[in-house]
């Protein structure tokens, strides 16, 4: 088996960047959690959850399409600009449409809007630099954004002496803008927005790829949001605060798969050998499974101690959901590799169908289990949904290993 050392090196760079960025993001939420009572912290996490769900349409499908097409036409400047320009237009239209829908439904407030703007801008920029496989820039952007969040929150909390929740939401949303401006002034991307290149045919081509990704991403956002929404409805914001601590801790499971997936999808998009696709899949899944299992064992043994040391004794109730959520994150991490391989070969519909199964199980599970089992029921529902996903992907890849991967689009 040939080892692509550029992929390994790039994944390591992005991986280190992701770890540092997520640790910084973790510190940001620890500071916020320590400064607010559980109910107030729960409110902030609830607004971020709703905003993430709302902007999933604009911040997922077309940024992913931009990644694929910028990578595919990395050596053709004109085509790169054409697909980039059309992607930006599509993202802008979808964002405005989402805002309008929320306004009509009476669900739009300033905090949600601020977070949505920031998430969409960050996703668009990250999708573009992923297409160029700019490992250092990806890492630098993520680290600088989360560093700035900590600096601004710490300034307001510890220097000014107050930080209303709306300020925290504004910092969370807009912190990405300063790093983007600085990076692009120092070393701008070799891209131009070409207004005359906006084409109905190109938009259709991008939409054909983006729609399944949007459905998949909205579904994924539902899976990652429905527990928070149901806990607020059945148990109240204080329990949202407790559960969010467990959710914050299990983010560490995403470090390795996110590092790999950042390069895996554009890398696979450039491949034309089916055998090589399976080699990347095998290496990636093995690495993710080993690391995730180690993390699960660590949380199972020392989870209560970690919560006490990091968040304080008032959040110890989060222990009830931590172990079961950790088990689900093993399955989630492995499944994310399969998702990115299939999107990389230009076949996003299958991951969409698989994630829809997970969403159905998760929604029903949360509605049934949270009233009976509390926050543990939310974690159990998440784990059961991704157990089903893992079984489905295993069946798919056993078949594909025998028959060969599908042709590239």
Each domain of the chain, given as residue ranges in start order, spans 5-403
Q: How many other β-carbons are positioned within 10 Å of the β-carbon of residue 36?
A: 17
Residue with token string 């554009």: 266
What is the widest separation between alpha-carbon atoms in the chain? 64
Distance between CA atoms of residues 185 and 227, nearest Å: 41
**Helix, strand, coil percentages in the chain from 3-state DSSP, rounded to 5:** 85, 0, 15
List Cβ neighbours of 206 (8 Å cut-off, separation of 6 or more). 62, 65, 69, 83, 86, 87, 90
Mean pLDDT, range 44-57, rounded to an integer: 88
- Nearest in space to 56 (alpha carbons), one of 92, 19, 87, 95: 95
- Burial grade of 253 (CB within 10 A; 0-12, 13-18, 19 or more): buried
Distance between CA atoms of residues 84 and 193, nearest Å: 7
pLDDT at 321 over 70: yes
The residue among 387 and 74 whose pLDDT is bigger is 387
Determine the pLDDT at residue 403. Answer: 64
Which token pair is 7?
């992929």
Residue with token string 């803008």: 177
pLDDT digits (tens, 9 = 90+) for 6-42: 666 666 777 788 778 888 988 999 889 888 888 888 8
- Nearest in space to 54 (alpha carbons), one of 6, 7, 114: 114
Average pLDDT, the chain: 87
pLDDT at 348 over 80: no
Determine the pLDDT at residue 2. Answer: 55
Q: How many other β-carbons are positioned within 10 Å of the β-carbon of residue 313?
A: 9
Residue with token string 């994310």: 336
List Cβ neighbours of 383 (8 Å cut-off, separation of 6 or more). 324, 325, 327, 328, 331
Which token pair is 113?
């809007």
Determine the pLDDT at residue 26. Answer: 85
Which token pair is 14?
């992005």
pLDDT digits (tens, 9 = 90+) for 365-386: 999 999 999 999 999 999 999 9
Distance between CA atoms of residues 330 and 211, nearest Å: 27
Residue with token string 């991490």: 333
List Cβ neighbours of 215 (8 Å cut-off, separation of 6 or more). 352, 356
> Are 24 and 145 in contact, with CB atoms under 8 Å apart?
no
- Nearest in space to 291 (alpha carbons), one of 351, 249, 334: 334
Cα-based distances in Å from 226 to 189, 213, 325, 361: 37, 19, 14, 11
Which token pair is 77?
């400047």
> Are 50 and 112 in contact, with CB atoms under 8 Å apart?
yes
Does the pTM surpass 0.85? The reply is no
pLDDT digits (tens, 9 = 90+) for 88-141: 999 999 999 999 998 998 888 999 999 999 999 999 999 898 888 788 898 899
Which token pair is 276?
């090589």
Mean pLDDT, range 65-79, rounded to an integer: 82
CA dihedral sign of residues 32, 125, 332, 12: negative
- What angle in degrees, to the nearest 10, is found between the helix axes of 349-373 and 200-234? 10
The residue among 221 and 283 whose pLDDT is bigger is 283
Distance between CA atoms of residues 153 and 145, nearest Å: 13
Mean pLDDT, range 257-273, rounded to an integer: 76
> Are 239 and 370 in contact, with CB atoms under 8 Å apart?
no
- Nearest in space to 368 (alpha carbons), one of 386, 391, 385: 385
Determine the pLDDT at residue 151. Answer: 94
> Are 128 and 83 in contact, with CB atoms under 8 Å apart?
no
Query: Would you say how long the chain is, in residues?
Result: 409
């Amino acid at each position: 088996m040939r080892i692509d050392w550029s992929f390994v090196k790039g994944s390591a760079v992005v991986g280190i960047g992701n770890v540092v960025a997520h640790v910084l993001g973790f510190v940001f939420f620890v500071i916020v959690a320590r400064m607010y009572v559980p109910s107030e912290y729960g409110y902030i996490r609830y607004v971020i959850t709703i905003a993430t769900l709302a902007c999933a349409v604009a911040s997922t499908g077309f940024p992913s399409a931009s990644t694929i097409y910028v990578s595919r036409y990395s050596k053709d400047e004109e085509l790169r600009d054409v697909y980039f320009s059309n992607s930006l237009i599509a993202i802008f239209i979808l964002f405005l449409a989402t805002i309008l829908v929320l306004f009509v439904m009476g669900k739009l407030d300033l905090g949600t809007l601020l977070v949505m703007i920031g998430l969409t801008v960050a996703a668009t920029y990250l999708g573009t630099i992923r297409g160029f496989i700019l490992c250092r820039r990806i890492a630098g952007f993520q680290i600088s954004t989360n560093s700035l969040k900590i600096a601004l929150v710490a300034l307001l909390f510890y220097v000014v002496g107050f930080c209303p929740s709306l300020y925290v939401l504004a910092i969370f949303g807009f912190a990405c803008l300063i790093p983007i401006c600085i990076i692009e002034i120092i070393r701008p991307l070799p891209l131009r927005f070409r207004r005359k290149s906006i084409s109905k045919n190109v938009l259709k081509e991008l939409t054909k790829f983006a729609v399944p990704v949007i459905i998949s991403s909205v579904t994924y956002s539902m899976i990652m949001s429905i527990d928070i929404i149901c806990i607020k409805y059945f148990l109240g914001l204080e329990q949202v605060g407790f559960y969010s601590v467990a959710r914050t801790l299990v983010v560490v499971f995403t470090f390795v798969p996110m590092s790999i997936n950042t390069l895996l999808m554009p890398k696979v998009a450039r491949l034309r050998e089916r055998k090589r696709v399976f080699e990347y899949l095998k290496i990636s899944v093995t690495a993710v499974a080993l690391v995730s299992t180690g993390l699960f064992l660590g949380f199972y043994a020392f989870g209560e101690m970690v919560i006490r040391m990091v968040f304080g004794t008032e959040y110890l109730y989060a222990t009830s959901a931590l172990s079961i959520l950790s088990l689900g994150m093993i399955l989630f991490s492995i499944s994310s590799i399969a998702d990115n391989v299939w999107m990389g070969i230009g076949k996003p519909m299958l991951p969409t169908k698989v994630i829809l199964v997970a969403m159905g199980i998760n929604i029903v599970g949360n509605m049934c289990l949270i009233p009976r089992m509390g926050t543990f029921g939310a974690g159990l529902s998440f784990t059961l949904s991704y157990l089903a996903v893992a079984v489905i992907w295993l069946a798919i890849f056993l078949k594909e290993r025998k028959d060969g991967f599908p042709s590239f689009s």
